[in-house]
Amino acid sequence: MPTSKQRSLLAAAGAVAAVLTLAAPSATSALDGPEPKAAAATAVPAAVTEVPTGAVGATAAAGSAYVETRLFFGTERPDGGPDVTDEQFMAFVDRRVTPGFPDGLTVQDGRGQWRDANGTIEKERSYELTLLYPASQARARGPLIERIREAYRAAYGQESVARLDEPTLADF
């Protein structure tokens, strides 16, 4: 039979698990179907900042509510034109992304695959752009992100730029 202290710890662990389950992010990809609508601001629960004394292996969450948006840019042109170069992509970032996200961003090289509108599996070099911003700014940042996606599609003849939004905690 659990002691009263053990029951309290189990109840606290259950509450934390429930919050984490309800707040689990969902990801949407534009690679296998119609493009997603602009993401609505996501409510992010307040961070759990205290852990019951004596909880084994438990750690306190740190940071403030943020949204992490990842954009996936292909480099091959469907019309058979030359691939987007590193220089072209970084110039695009400098011109179209940095003004709206001057506090920072991350660009990673990638290799990806996706099914195009004709059903063909395409494999290509790609870029993953990560943007991190306060959750309180999600509504204002959403349209900026959609303009970035549209500008890249138009400039480089792409069918889509995939977008993933996830609530997270960040501390700097």
pLDDT digits (tens, 9 = 90+) for 51-86: 344 445 556 678 999 999 999 999 998 888 899 999
Model's pTM, two decimal places? 0.65
Q: Which residue has the tokens 């970035």?
A: 148
- Confidence (pLDDT) at 59: 61
Residue 47 CB neighbour total at 10 angstroms: 14
CB 53 within 8 A of CB 133: no
**Cα(111)–Cα(71) distance, rounded to whole angstroms?**
14
**What b-and-e string marks burial along 126-164, b requiring 16 or more CB atoms within 10 Å of the CB?**
bbbbebbbebeebeebbebbeebbeebbeebebebbbbb
